[in-house]
Amino acid sequence: MADKKVLVTEDGYNKLVEKLNYLKSVKRIEIADRLKAAIALGDLSENSEYDDAKNEQAFLEGEIQELEAKIRNSDIIKAGAGDVVQMGSTVVVIDQEFAEDGPETFMIVGSTEADPDEGKISNESPLGQALLGQKVGSVVDVHAPAGVIKYEIQEIKG
């Protein structure tokens, strides 16, 4: 089965590579040092330090494999300068019901690098799906668990 393409911005791709390099260099060495210290304690059959380090090593190797697959299958998205919301676009919107709260800004990214706290929303999220393909001035309906939210697009940045 072919691996699924991972949509990321260039910044998101660089963060994946940076994290992979950190795990392969710093974290692997830390765990190897812990394993050596645990082995030096003697009997491995009742050595909780050794067991903990081996478990952490297995988890780390799984995380490294997952990151390598994401990087290998990355499709870097570049926002085009346009008047239509697309992957990589930064969009300024106003919630029509709570306009007095001011505008909100979101960047449309792939699910791998989505981080709502940083204003990065997935193209697969209800808001991301509603915004894609829209123009400035459009009003979109976002179907959220609390009901339908209407957003007006104020600005699109590439």
Q: Model confidence over 21-65: pLDDT tens digits?
A: 999 999 999 999 999 988 887 777 777 888 899 999 999 999 999
CB of 7 closer than 8 Å to CB of 78: no
Q: What is the pTM of this model?
A: 0.74
Q: 78-157: which CATH architecture?
A: Roll (3.10)
Dmax over Cα atoms in the chain, in whole Å? 70
C-alpha to C-alpha distance for 151 and 144, rounded to whole angstroms: 12
Which string of b and e fits 52-90 if b means at least 16 CB within 10 Å? ebbeebeebeeebeebeebeeebeebebeeeeebbbbbb
What architecture (CATH level 2) is domain 6-76?
Orthogonal Bundle (1.10)
Beta-carbon contacts of 14 under 8 Å, excluding residues fewer than 6 positions away, are: none
Render pLDDT for 87-145 as a digit per residue (tens, 0 to 9).
Answer: 889 999 999 888 788 999 999 999 889 999 999 999 999 999 999 999 999 999 998 88
Domain borders along the chain are: 6-76, 78-157
